[in-house]
Amino acid sequence: MATEFGKNLTVTTTPIPGLIVLDLPVHGDARGWFKENWQRQKMTAPGIDLPDFGPVQNNISFNDAVGTTRGIHAEPWDKYVSVATGRIFGAWVDLREGDTFGAVYTTEIDPSRAIFVPRGVGNSYQTLEPDTAYTYLVNDHWSPTATYTFLNLADETAAIDWPIPLDTVEISEKDKNHPRLADVTPMGPRKILVTGANGQLGRALREEFGDHPWVEYTTRDTLDLTSPDLPAARRWRDYGTIINAAAYTKVDTAETPEGRSHAWAANVTAVAALARIATANDITLVHISSDYVFDGTKHGAYTPEDPLSPLGVYGQTKAAGDAIVSTVPHHYILRTSWVIGDGNNFVRTMATLAERGINPRVVNDQTGRLTFTTDIATTTRTLLDTRAPHGTYNITSDGEPQTWYDIARDVYHLTGHDPDRVTGVTTDEYFTDATGPIAPRPRNSILELAATRDAGIPLGDGRRRLKDYLTS
């Protein structure tokens, strides 16, 4: 170990994505040596960039004989491996689904080195010195219901060049009987959970993410987000992303006593439960926000940084949900306006009225842009795939802002009807004859899109997107 004293903390990447080797500073003298085996602040800092993987358990495997060989085991959690005393030859094989399935990396590990092993990468080692203590931190607790993947130590495809021949060393019968690479079922990615899967956005997300074993779509009937049993409803460590497309959106009914209760339950209580689960299990939480978190009095477009100032109950619950989600370490808040998708919505209503020969009165003093659910779904996929910086993103169509009246006229025109059949009225005039509670609406719902464009999010012109929507 003397020759290893005084090294700087450095990292080496490997052919296996996410598998990172660390050279650790070791300080010693005639009395022995000392090292910081795991130091979160230093090791997650820029330049080292080890994932802040949140270990919850520390394990030690003591091996008294040279040649003890263990593996190849891939678990559904991350692992930080080091050696307390002795020396090992380590071999790691990528057993995750993807292009690098079967990739191999080998190296020696002594007390001055460590290696970060991401979820799904097979881990194995052979002791090169007696009395070797192999230590590892993991970010989940062992569970008999977890999904594990194994590979035979002698697999001919991996062709690991073991320093000591396998037929001369101590190997467990279980490890001897693991499958060859051709028979291994690759470990899939951490799961994606989509809530509100039957809504307009939920259907667009299903179209975007597809049907795969690692994507789960839930509705209120299959997963109650307000249940006190939610933390135990899933093995949450198996999930990497929750896309919360569930919400209470009846803005006028939310002003009634019963509606207010339902709105707070769906938009705040349920969101708080998801936020706690996401934080505790290192899950990325994607949350859909609304222009209703603003009062609409600003001159100019609202930025993601503008302070929230909701008017009615619905806006208040959405603002509370946003505040909660912002505390989750890995989160995306997608702030939208005037959402249009597969289902009942303003555009479909106008198209139906035009076809039926009805001449509608439409509000002309609320200004904003349409947001198409397909664009929200695409944006969600892009943010996750590119691992964009966490935070709030405004997501609407691009182009000149319009009033509801302008959009109604466009719908009539695009469907072959006379747009002059649409009459513009103020919000107050529109609701003159209303018999129930009416939620206050923000007059200005324009969201600033510059930061979203800078993040590489594709945003289409609103009028072109409307034409595509009506002809699809």
In this predicted model, which residue has the larger pLDDT, 143 or 307? 307
User: What amino acid occupies position 361?
Assistant: R
How many other CB atoms sit within 10 Å of the CB of residue 398?
Answer: 17
Annotated active-site residue in 80, 105, 136, 430: 136
Distance of CA 34 to the CA centre of its chain: 38
Q: Structure tokens of 427?
A: 């919000």
- The CA distances from residue 377 to 89, 177, 197, 412, in Å, are 45, 44, 12, 27
Each residue of 92-137: pLDDT tens digit?
A: 999 999 999 999 999 999 999 999 999 999 999 999 999 999 999 9
Share of the chain above pLDDT 90, in %: 88
Instruction: Identify the band that residue 2 occupies on the pLDDT scale cut at 50, 70 and 90.
Output: very low
pLDDT of residue 4: 56
- Average pLDDT for residues 13-30, to the nearest whole number? 92
Give 435's pLDDT tier (boundaries 50, 70, 90).
confident
Mean pLDDT (whole number) for 11-28: 94
CA torsion, ordered 327, 330, 335, 341, to nearest 10 deg: -130
In DSSP notation, 65-117 reads: STT-EEEEEE-SS-EEEEEEES-EEEEEEE-BSSTTTT-EEEEEE-TTEEEEE
For 345-403, how does the pLDDT look when each residue is reduced to its tens digit (9 = 90+)?
999 999 999 999 999 999 999 999 999 999 999 999 999 999 899 999 999 999 999 99
- The tokens of 388 are what? 């964009």
List % helix, strand, coil for the chain (3-state, nearest 5). 30, 25, 45
Query: Strand 391-394 relative to strand 331-336: parallel, antiparallel, unpaired?
Result: parallel
- Annotation marks residue 430 as catalytic: no
**Mean of all residue pLDDT scores within the chain:** 94
Percent of the chain with pLDDT over 70: 99
Report the run of H or E that residue 26 belongs to, with start and end.
Answer: strand 26-29
Could you tell me whether strands 113-117 and 79-85 are parallel, antiparallel, or unpaired per DSSP bridges? Answer: antiparallel
What pTM did the predictor assign?
0.88
Count of Cβ atoms closer than 10 Å to residue 300 Cβ: 9
Cis peptide before 395 (omega within 30 of 0): no
| CB contact burial 407-441 (16+ within 10 A = b; e otherwise) | bbbbbbebbebebeebebbeeeebeeeeeebebbb
Residues contacting residue 78 through CB under 8 Å, at least 6 positions apart: 51, 53, 116, 117, 118, 119, 138, 139
73/161 Cα distance (integer angstroms): 18
According to the model, what pLDDT value does residue 127 have? 97
Q: How many angstroms separate the CA atoms of 349 and 275, rounded?
A: 35
Contact status, residue 47 vs residue 34, Cβ threshold 8 Å? no
Query: Torsions phi, psi of 414, nearest 5?
Result: -70, -20
- Stretch 53-62: mean pLDDT: 93
- Catalytic, 393? Answer no
Confidence of residue 1 (pLDDT cuts 50, 70, 90): very low
pLDDT tens-digit readout, 264-319? 999 999 999 999 999 999 999 999 999 999 999 999 999 999 999 999 999 999 99
Domains, the chain, with CATH or none? 2-183 (2.60.120.10), 191-471 (3.40.50.720)
